[in-house]
Amino acid sequence: MTAAFRLDGKAALVTGSTRGIGKAIAEGLIAAGAQVVISSEDATDTARVAAALGQPGLACDVADDAALARLTDFALAELGGLDVLVCNAGITGQPGPFAGIDMQDYARVMAINLRSQVVLTGLALPHIAARGGGAAVLVASLAGLRGNGRINAYALAKAGVAQLARNLAVEWGPQGVRVNAVSPGFIATELSGPLLADEAFMARRMAATPLRRPGTPQEVAGAAVFLASPAGAFVTGHNLVVDGGTLVSDGS
């Protein structure tokens, strides 16, 4: 790994980092030299993954503002400061059209996927600025860039995440803090297992994806490490789409 992609001596916090994309991002940051606070809402999973990776960990329900404050304080105490924040925690919620949507589910999806990122960036970015600047990576989604008849609140929240990155980039850029979003497309994870096993779905989706395959969590992690590292030092307010070309394809 070239020096431009190194994060030696840097302190990072990654939410939703015990599986899938979040865990891969944490592993990528660690491989680049950073110390990383591991977190998820499940205390057992958090302790297990933190121990396996040799990093500090704290369980956190990101829908709880007080828990986010405790997580930030924990990261500062354990690592001595913060240079990198990755807001990854999220849920998909109940699929279906907006007509007839369950508003309680809507509220929870918005709280976890979008509101938590507003709160956590508000808590963490001042500390990143105080260290002389750094980076935040907000995990959005391809779903926030395309119309869809079944992905409702999730897509709306993820579109908001991309806009949050743009706004925060303008707000915090003068203090040396870069804020970007990453929008994964269809990624092969444990959660996407049922779709991976659906031959009809996969045939349709891969036909609309120029690379003709799902992505891997490590490929999303590579984008996040780039945005967090000196290699991305002049990139801010960007939404980096990691989707094998699905967004730009007409399916032909």
For the annotated catalytic residues, the residue numbers are 154
Residue of 82, 85, 15 whose CA lies nearest to 46:
15
Strand order in 134-139's β-sheet? 35-38, 11-14, 84-87, 134-139, 177-184, 239-242
DSSP state of 102: -
Residues in Cβ contact with 49 at an 8 Å cutoff, skipping those fewer than 6 apart: 17, 18, 19, 23, 26, 38, 40, 57
Question: Burial of 195 by CB count in 10 Å (0-12 exposed, 13-18 middle, 19+ buried)?
Answer: middle
The tokens for 27 are 């592993």
Q: Which residue has the tokens 């999220």?
A: 90
- Round to whole Å and give the CA distance between 72 and 37: 10
The tokens for 247 are 């967004």
